[in-house]
Amino acid sequence: VIFWLPYDAPPWTKGLKGVPSHKVELAQCNTPIQRWNLPGVPDDFEIFIKRDDLTGSVLSGNKVRKLEFLFADAIKQGCSSIITCGGTQSNFCRATCICAKTLGMKAHLLLKTDKDPADVPCAGNYLLDHMVGAHVYFLPTNLGLHEDVWPRMRQLADTIEKETGKKAYTTPPGGSTSVGMFGYVNAFHEMTKQDAFESITDVVSATGSGGTAAGLIVGNHLTGNKVKLHGMVVSDTGPFHHNEVNQMLRDVELQKADGSGLTSEDSINLLDGPIGAGYALSSQDELEFIRDVAQHTGIILDPVYTGKSVFHLVKQLQTNPGMFKGKKIIFLHTGGMFALFDGRMQDVFAEASQKVTVWKEFTDKAPLKV
Residue 56 vs 174, nearer CB to ligand PLP: 174
In whole angstroms, how close is the CB of 106 to ligand PLP at the nearest point? 22
81 in catalytic set? no
**198 touches 187 (CB < 8 A):** no
Taking the complex as a whole, the smallest distance from the CB of residue 310 to ligand PLP amounts, in Å, to 11
Tell me whether strands 202-207 and 167-170 are parallel, antiparallel or unpaired: unpaired
Cα–Cα distances in angstroms (integers) from residue 104 to residues 1, 100, 185, 202, 254, in the given order:
9, 6, 27, 40, 35
Least Cβ distance, residue 136 to ligand PLP (angstroms)? 18
Interacting span for ligand PLP (CB under 6 A) from 116-124, 217-225, 299-307, 362-370: 299-307
Total interface residues for ligand PLP by CB under 6 A: 21
The verdict on 286 binding ligand PLP (CB under 6 A) reads no
Q: Which of 209, 247, 242, 239 is nearest to 91 (CA)?
A: 209
Residues 162-191: x/- map of binding to ligand PLP (CB under 6 A)?
A: ------------x-x---------------
Provide the mask over 301-320, with x wherever binding to ligand PLP is found by CB under 6 A and - wherever it is not.
-x--xx--------------
For ligand PLP, the binding residue among 60, 91, 96, 186 (CB under 6 A) is 91
Q: Name the β-bridge partners of 6.
A: 22
Tell me phi and psi for residue 35, to 5 degrees.
-70, 140
User: What is the spatial distance between Cα 156 and Cα 152, in angstroms, rounded to a whole number?
Assistant: 6
Round to whole Å and give the CA distance between 182 and 78. 20
The answer to whether residue 87 forms part of the interface with ligand PLP (CB under 6 A) is no
How far apart are the C-alpha atoms of 35 and 137, rounded to whole Å? 42
Stretch that binds ligand PLP, among 153-161, 279-287, 331-339, 358-366 (CB under 6 A): 331-339
Alpha carbon distance 289, 347 (integer Å): 13
Q: One of 60, 90, 178, 264 is an active-site residue; which one? A: 90
Calpha distance 279→235 (Å, rounded): 5
By beta-carbon proximity to ligand PLP, the closer residue of 80 and 334 is 334
Site string for ligand PLP, 108-147 (x = CB under 6 A): ----------------------------------------
Question: Does 211 interact with ligand PLP (rule: CB under 6 A)?
Answer: yes
Nearer of residues 55 and 80 to ligand PLP, judged by Cβ: 55
Residue nearer to ligand PLP on the CB measure, 202 or 302 = 302
Among 246, 336, 340, 344, binds ligand PLP (CB under 6 A): 336
CA distance 150 to 325: 39
Nearest distance, CB of residue 207 and ligand PLP, angstroms: 5
Give just the sign of the alpha carbon dihedral 150, 53, 322, 318.
negative
Nearest position to ligand PLP, beta carbon: 336
SS3 40: coil
- With 0-12 / 13-18 / 19 or more C-beta atoms within 10 angstroms meaning exposed / middle / buried, residue 71 is buried
Residues marked active site are found at 90
Query: Which stretches of the chain bind ligand PLP, using CB under 6 A?
Result: 61-63, 91-92, 174, 176, 206-213, 302, 305-306, 334-336
